[in-house]
């Protein structure tokens, strides 16, 4: 039961001095919001806290992430206690993966159904919209103070992982918790402006280019495009900043599955979104990725062209009428 797990976690916190809080590579709003919220929540306890997130903080989350406290590299430091948030498998810790074996106790808090539970304590609830929502439940059970600063970070986590409270993972409880966070002082429109209405022009241009290159297959049920190195270079933007292309393509009426291929030097990362019944996490798992039924991804050590062929093949039977 959650209550007992929280009791155990509080005991671990009390007996620990060195505490690390880690999130996943290519961090999103839920990861950054949750990690930073837990950091600020534990701050008053005067422990030695470290934060580990491998990857660029997207520009719109920079106001919520204190980058001076995020570790740049991992030098095999040891920890009494490690929290791993929003991270469905150990590989997603990226360059910080070894922190797992260098920590005495591990607490995993996540809402990905593909999470196997690699901690000593695992709080994994796929019914939750976001790790932020789950973390809020946990924080309430500790009886410790949730400041406005913490509330803002949890709200960002919930807001972004629910696609502004629009995905199916959004429940009445999600709204009730968001309301409680607003009562703690969250300014809804201010956050909306920071997260969604703050894009630099070159980021929007790269986004539009990526969207306009979309190709349709199987009666437009599959839409596929790529964010190439060339698009990034010409517009002078980071991959991490071009967000939402895969969701945008899903907005097309006929689309059942949208796919974005992200071109990196040594691999292609695949983002998948499903509109109805197709479980894209099953296909992602097949290629050592993970995620949710409607939002998942994986990477291949191959170029865009070959990756695209694989995607077309994978969805052929599911989408061909």
Stretch that binds Mn ion, among 36-44, 113-121, 124-132, 199-207 (CB under 5 A): 124-132
> 30 or 263: whose CB is closer to Mn ion?
30
Q: How many residues at the interface with Mn ion, by CB under 5 A? A: 5
**Token reading at 130:** 């976001």
- CA angle (203 as vertex; 202, 208 as ends), nearest 5: 95
From 3-11, 70-78, 127-135, 287-295, span contacting Mn ion (CB under 5 A): 127-135
**Cβ nearer to Mn ion, comparing 29 with 223:** 29
Q: Residue for token digits 């920071």?
A: 194
Work out how close the CB of 184 gets to Mn ion at its nearest, in angstroms, rounded to a whole number. Answer: 21
- The whole-angstrom separation of Cα 289 and Cα 140 is 32
Residue whose tokens read 């918790």: 177
Which CB atom, from 133 or from 241, has the smaller least distance to Mn ion? 133
- Which residue lies nearer to Mn ion by CB, 211 or 272? 272
Q: Which is nearer to Mn ion, 88 or 228 (CB)?
A: 88
**Min separation Cβ 121 and Mn ion, Å:** 19
Taking Cα atoms as reference points, which of 109, 117, 197, 120 lies closest to residue 157? 109
Minimum distance from CB of 130 to Mn ion (Å)?
Answer: 5
Q: Is 110 in the site for Mn ion (CB under 5 A)?
A: no
**If you compute the radius of gyration of the chain from its CA atoms, what whole number of angstroms results?**
19
Residue whose CB is less far from Mn ion, 131 or 258: 131
* Strand extents, DSSP E, 23-94: 48-52, 79-85
Measured from the CB atom, the residue of 38 and 214 that comes closer to Mn ion is 38
d(CA 121, CA 47): 20
Q: Which stretch binds Mn ion (CB under 5 A): 153-161, 206-214, 218-226, 301-309?
A: 153-161
Tally helices (H) and strands (E) across the chain: 11, 11
Q: Select the span of 115-123, 156-164, 216-224, 300-308 touching Mn ion (CB under 5 A).
A: 156-164
| Residue span 166-205 as binding mask against Mn ion, x where in contact by CB under 5 A, dash where not | ----------------------------------------
Q: Which residue is nearest to Mn ion (CB)?
A: 30
Pick from 54, 86, 256, 299: which binds Mn ion (CB under 5 A)? 86
**C-beta of 14: minimal distance to Mn ion in Å?**
28
Beta-ladder partners of 216: 223
* Reduced DSSP (H G I as helix, E B as strand, rest coil) percent helix, strand, coil of the chain, to 5: 45, 20, 35
Query: Exposure of 233 by Cβ count < 10 A (0-12 exposed, 13-18 middle, 19+ buried)?
Result: exposed
* Binding to Mn ion in span 20-49, by CB under 5 A: 30
Strand pairing of 215-217 and 222-227? Answer: antiparallel
Least gap, CB of 86 to Mn ion (angstroms): 5
Positive/negative CA dihedral, 52, 38, 164, 91: positive
The 8-class DSSP code of residue 321 comes to -
**Using rule CB under 5 A, residue 161 touches Mn ion:** yes
- What is the rounded CA–CA span in Å between residue 154 and residue 87? 16
Contact residues for Mn ion, defined by CB under 5 A: 30, 86, 130-131, 161
């Amino acid at each position: 039961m959650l209550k007992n797990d929280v009791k155990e976690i509080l005991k671990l916190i009390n007996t620990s001095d060195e505490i690390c809080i880690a999130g996943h590579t290519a961090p999103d709003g839920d990861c950054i919001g949750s990690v930073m919220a837990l950091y600020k929540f534990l701050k008053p306890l005067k422990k030695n806290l470290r934060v580990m997130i491998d990857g660029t903080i997207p520009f719109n989350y920079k106001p919520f992430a204190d980058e001076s406290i995020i570790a740049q590299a991992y030098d095999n430091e040891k920890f009494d206690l490690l929290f791993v948030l929003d991270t469905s498998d150990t590989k997603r810790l990226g360059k910080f993966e070894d922190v797992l074996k260098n920590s005495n106790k591990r607490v995993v808090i996540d809402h990905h159904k593909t999470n196997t539970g690699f901690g000593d304590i695992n709080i994994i609830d796929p019914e939750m919209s976001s790790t932020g929502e789950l973390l809020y439940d946990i924080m309430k059970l500790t009886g410790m103070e949730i400041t406005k600063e913490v509330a803002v970070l949890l709200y960002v986590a919930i807001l972004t992982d629910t696609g502004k409270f629009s995905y199916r993972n959004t429940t009445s409880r999600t709204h009730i918790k968001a309301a409680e966070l607003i009562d703690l002082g969250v300014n809804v429109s201010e956050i909306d402006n920071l997260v969604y209405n703050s894009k630099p022009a070159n980021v929007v241009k790269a986004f539009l280019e990526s969207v306009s290159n979309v190709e349709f297959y199987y009666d437009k049920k599959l839409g596929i495009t790529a964010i190439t190195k060339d698009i990034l270079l010409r517009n002078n933007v980071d991959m991490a900043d071009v967000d939402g292309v895969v969701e945008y393509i899903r907005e097309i009426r006929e689309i059942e599955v949208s796919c974005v291929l992200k071109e990196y030097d040594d691999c292609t990362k695949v983002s998948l979104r499903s509109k109805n019944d197709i479980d894209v996490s099953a296909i992602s798992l097949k290629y050592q990725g993970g995620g949710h039924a409607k939002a998942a991804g994986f990477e291949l050590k191959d170029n865009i062209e070959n990756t695209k062929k694989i995607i077309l093949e994978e969805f052929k039977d599911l989408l061909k009428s």
